[in-house]
Structure 1
Amino acid sequence: MRHAVICLWLMFSIPAFANEADRLTQANFPAQSEQLVLKNQALLTYLWADVYAAALYAPAEISAKQSWDRQKDLRLVLYYFRDIDRNDVIKAANATLERQQTSARLKPELAQLHGRFRNIRSGDRYALDFRPGRGLNLEINGQVVFSSRDEELARAYLGIWLAPKGLSDRLRNELLN
Structure 2
Amino acid sequence: MHRLIVVIALLLTSGLAIASEKRLQEAAFAPQVTVAQTTLALRNQTVLTYLWVDVYAAALYTQAGLSPRAALADDQSKRLELYYFRDIDRSDVIKAAWVTLERQHDQQTLERLRPEIDALHEQFQSIRAGDRYALVFTPSSGLSLERNGEILFTRNDPALASAYLGIWLAPKGLSDSLRATLLADS
**Residue 65 of structure 2: aligned partner:** 61
| Deviation sequence 1:38-66 (CA, Å, 0-9, x none) | 01101100000000000000001211111
Q: Which runs of 5+ in 2 are unaligned?
A: none
**Residue 100 of structure 1: aligned partner:** 104
**Residue 32 of structure 1: aligned partner:** 32
Q: How many residues align?
A: 177
Distance 1:160 1:9 in 2: 31
**Residue 124 of structure 1: aligned partner:** 131
TM-score (norm 1): 0.97
**Residue 14 of structure 2: aligned partner:** 14
Partner of 1:157, secondary structure, is: helix
Q: Does residue 43 in structure 1 map to residue 50 in structure 2?
A: no
The Cα of 1:70 is off from its aligned counterpart by 5.4
Distance 2:10 2:179 in 1: 25
Pick aligned residue for 2:176 from 148, 169, 175: 169
Partner of 2:69, secondary structure, is: helix
Name whichever of 99-108 and 74-83 sits farther off: 99-108
Q: Structure 1: which 4+ aligned runs deviate by more than 2 Å?
A: none
- Over the matched positions of the two proteins, sequence identity in percent amounts to 53
Pick aligned residue for 1:144 from 151, 157, 177: 151
Q: Which runs of 5+ in 1 are unaligned?
A: none
**Residue 83 of structure 1: aligned partner:** 87
